[in-house]
Amino acid sequence: MQVGVIGCGNMGGGMVRQLVAAGMSPICFDPNQATCDLMRSAGAEVATSALQLASKAQIIILSLPKAAVVEEVMGQIMTSIQPESIILDTSTSDPATSQKMAALSIAQGSQFIDGPVSGGPEAANAGTMTMLLGGDVQAIDALRPVLDVITAKTVVVGGSGAGHAAKIANNMLCAANLVLVAEAVRLGEASGVSAKDLLAGINAGSGRSGVSEVNFPKWVLSDAFDSGFTMGLMRKDVGLALDLAKSSGVDVTGFSGIADIWLNQSDHVADTADFNEIVKYADKDRTDV
């Protein structure tokens, strides 16, 4: 089956490279010509438009920045999608958009699966992403040969929209843990415990998390701040969590204060900065971040 990728930036581009390495001869499209040139040099076929790609591919992977763009692109390609094709949306979107796109796809004879990913550009380029999947189980099974190439772990979490609900919840916890671990480190240092020693203790105990085990050692304590995921993207995800809580009628009082830090109290940290730089939110006088 022909596999196509729409949106070939950091994440989509990594998926394209993995598909090429696996001998799948993917076709791809991105509105940025320079990105298309990179994909062509990596060995992928480049379509002249998303519409052309949809007419040729039986599996269409979307790697787009937000739900509104997913809906826009789907509106552009819907009439060209082949019957029995499968659209795999790896963007961080929202459950309502996924459910809407799934219903439209079924009416056209295709399937829309939500499969947001974790791991960042490094994992996309290594084929080691984790993907949370929501949608028709048979369609997900049909995607397995592709999923085995671009991911190291997949978790089917439910029907249409479930993948994006789970991803929003995951990123909600990551956003919270970054703020909380930063506060714990400051508390430890004020008590004479170095950040490195404090984290060793936390990671041996019940307070450990992906942030304490990976983010802080790899990107914060090293002062690298080069994970490939930006403050702006995480701020968007924090907003998605608040929106989902509101539409679902769920009280997220505990998270609301942390969301306020991301959205309102850290404006000295630019949207273009690495998302791990939220640890600097208390440093109001910084002008170089």
Ordered structural domains, the chain, with CATH? 3-158 (3.40.50.720), 165-280 (1.10.1040.10)
At 156, is the pLDDT very low, low, confident or very high (cuts 50, 70, 90)? Answer: very high
Token reading at 283:
């440093």
Share of the chain above pLDDT 90, in %: 95
- State the residue for tokens 């956003």: 175
Of 92 and 274, the structure prediction assigns the larger pLDDT to: 274
Q: Is the pLDDT of residue 241 over 80?
A: yes
Which of 56, 100, 167, 280 is flagged as catalytic?
Answer: 167
**In this structure, are residues 274 and 215 in contact, taking their beta carbons and an 8 Å threshold?**
no
Share of the chain above pLDDT 70, in %: 98
pLDDT at 67: 94
Distance, in Å, from the CA atom of 131 to the CA atom of 163, rounded to the nearest integer, reads 8
State which amino acid sits at residue 216.
Answer: F
User: What is the average per-residue pLDDT within 213-237?
Assistant: 96
In tens, the pLDDT along 279-288 reads 999 876 544 4
Its pTM stands at 0.92
Q: Is the pLDDT of residue 63 over 60?
A: yes
Distance, in Å, from the CA atom of 121 to the CA atom of 37, rounded to the nearest integer, reads 19
pLDDT at 289: 42
Angle at 232 between CA 235 and CA 101, to 5 degrees: 75
**In this structure, are residues 74 and 104 in contact, taking their beta carbons and an 8 Å threshold?**
yes
pLDDT at 286: 46
What count of other Cβ atoms lies within 10 Å of the Cβ of residue 127?
19
**What sign has the CA pseudo-torsion 129, 17, 121, 58?**
negative
Integer angstrom CA distances of residue 5 from 78, 181, 268: 15, 36, 35
In tens, the pLDDT along 105-134 reads 999 999 999 999 999 899 999 999 999 999
What count of other Cβ atoms lies within 10 Å of the Cβ of residue 61?
29
| Residue 153 annotated as catalytic | no
In tens, the pLDDT along 26-59 reads 999 999 999 999 999 999 999 999 999 999 999 9
User: What's the chain's average pLDDT?
Assistant: 95
According to DSSP, residue 80 is labeled G
pLDDT at 1: 86
In tens, the pLDDT along 160-192 reads 999 999 999 999 999 999 999 999 999 999 999
Beta strands in 135-256 (DSSP E): 151-158
Distance, in Å, from the CA atom of 81 to the CA atom of 196, rounded to the nearest integer, reads 52
Of 199 and 284, the structure prediction assigns the larger pLDDT to: 199
pLDDT at 285: 55
State which amino acid sits at residue 115.
Answer: G
At 11, is the pLDDT very low, low, confident or very high (cuts 50, 70, 90)? Answer: very high
Q: Which residues contact 90 (CB under 8 A, 6 or more apart)?
A: 11, 12, 15, 61, 62, 63, 115, 116, 117, 131
pLDDT at 284: 66
pLDDT at 26: 98
According to DSSP, residue 78 is labeled G
User: What is the average per-residue pLDDT within 262-288?
Assistant: 87
pLDDT at 182: 97
Distance, in Å, from the CA atom of 180 to the CA atom of 186, rounded to the nearest integer, reads 10
